[in-house]
Amino acid sequence: MPEPTNNTQLTPQVVKPSVVPAENDTSKVSVEKSVLEKILEQNKKLEQELAILRQSVSQARLAQAENKVRPKEKPRVYLKVFNGKIVTSWKSEKQEYLHSQVTGQVIGEILKARYYYIDGTDSGIVDQVMFTRCDDQVWARIVETRENTFLLDFEDKSKFEGILEINKAFANP
């Protein structure tokens, strides 16, 4: 009857190296010239085979295969910036009517709104035309989607930093 073995010898274990090389490790390694030449020759053959395969395969299939292994990008949205601050919400205010000087009838209106910023301040009452004609925007990636909100990470860290939770209605895809 065989003797029972120690189970710890049968289970795989992660072995950590005693010396972990740094990412920018510039230390020298000695390799025999024949081994190095063999590796370089194999690399050259693989590059040639890859070039031949890329030429012979249809571009549509190649793109499809590359898309399967490409990491998924997080969706991108932009947020409106007004007066140098990110707008998180707005509220329509009382509109101003334009009256004809001759007849006194209403001939137009000026829509007014108050815009609320990420820092909690607001713009005061301004013409909505000023806001709609403002082309300033900041791009962000959606980190997480919740029921009514997005968690966003800004792409341009020089303008805005950190993770922002914002109502889905204010993020434009």
Q: Which whole-number Å values give the CA distances from 44 to 39, 47, 48, 49, 80, in the listed order? A: 9, 5, 6, 9, 51
Look at the block and give the residue holding tokens 């030429």: 55
Alpha carbon distance 139, 76 (integer Å): 7
Per-residue model confidence (pLDDT) at position 91: 83
| Residues 74-91: tens digit of each pLDDT | 788 778 888 888 887 788
Contact yes or no for 78/139 (Cβ under 8 A): yes
Query: How far is Cα 165 from Cα 162, in angstroms, rounded to an integer?
Result: 10
Instruction: Compute the average pLDDT of residues 88-103.
Output: 81
| Residues 75 and 142: beta-carbon distance below 8 Å | yes
Query: Among 82, 83, 78, which Cα is nearest to 154's?
Result: 78
Neighbours of 145 (CB within 10 A): 12
What percent of the chain lies above the pLDDT cut of 70?
Answer: 79
AA identity, residue 12: P
Q: pLDDT-derived band of residue 30, with 50, 70 and 90 as boundaries?
A: confident
pLDDT, tens digit (0-9, with 9 covering 90-100), for 31-66: 888 988 999 999 999 999 988 888 888 888 888 888
Edge to edge, the sheet with strand 112-117 lists 122-127, 112-117, 85-92, 76-82, 137-145, 149-154, 163-167
Give pLDDT, residue 70: 81
Residue 19: pLDDT band by 50, 70, 90 thresholds? Answer: low
